A and B are shown apart, each in its own frame.
Chain A
Amino acid sequence: DTEVTQTPKHLVMGMTNKKSLKCEQHMGHRAMYWYKQKAKKPPELMFVYSYEKLSINESVPSRFSPECPNSSLLNLHLHALQPEDSALYLCASSQENTPGYEQYFGPGTRLTVT
């Protein structure tokens, strides 16, 4: 089973709202990732968690706040977003955050900021 689940599937939020995206995997993977994907573009890495610790932040604005409560769960807290933050937000996981391990993606959360 190589399933990564994400909730919600769709989210519409205003610029003053606070919301959270959730990601879960039960493959025993120790690395989890958040990506942002705009239309007709490849995914762009935002954050990497390795063994529940933040290991990479790709200079993401502070209105995006990741959290890894345990090895199976990854959250992305959203606050005071801008319309240009509207995108598909993808979660991925891999056995380790080292080259040689495949990353498996979830179905994504389609976010619209109004």
Chain B
Amino acid sequence: QKEVEQDPGPLSVPEGAIVSLNCTYSNSAFQYFMWYRQYSRKGPELLMYTYSSGNKEDGRFTAQVDKSSKYISLFIRDSQPSDSATYLCAMNTDKLIFGTGTRLQVFP
């Protein structure tokens, strides 16, 4: 079993939709959770960073962590074509452990 599981997609949604991206993990020692957005042929860009369980909101993005279920989510409200990218979840122990990434396409 991989330490971090993420649905690879692709996920295709119309503009304006609410998008839910999810990761599950197996290591209960993870306490720091990140979401990165990566456009094609570019480096990952840190979107959200959360510590332990709870929600964090930043504009159209909400990150949610449920440590009891070992489940994290990223919600994107009012999705835009510019949100089309690969979204990587990541968790931190002595090094960053990435999910495989979910490809999101938002069509006009």
Provide the main secondary structure of the chain A interface: loop
How many residues on chain B are close to A (CB under 8 Å)? Answer: 22
A110 to B44 Cα, complex, angstroms: 14
Q: Out of A99, A103, A108, name the residue touching B42 (CB < 8 Å).
A: A108
The answer to whether B95 and A48 have CB atoms under 8 Å apart is yes
Q: Is B76 an interface residue (CB 8 A)?
A: no
Q: Is B34 an interface residue (CB 8 A)?
A: yes
Q: Out of A40, A100, A110, name the residue touching B51 (CB < 8 Å).
A: A100
- Tally inter-chain residue pairs, CB-CB below 8 A: 49
Q: Is A81 an interface residue (CB 8 A)?
A: no
Q: Is A43 an interface residue (CB 8 A)?
A: yes
Q: Out of A42, A104, A105, name the residue touching B99 (CB < 8 Å).
A: A42
The answer to whether A56 and B100 have CB atoms under 8 Å apart is no
State the B residues within 8 Å of A (CB).
31-32, 34, 36, 41-46, 49, 51, 88, 92-96, 98-101
10 further interface pairs, Cβ-Cβ under 8 Å (given A42-B99, A100-B32): A42-B88, A42-B98, A43-B98, A88-B41, A99-B92, A99-B94, A100-B51, A100-B92, A102-B49, A107-B42
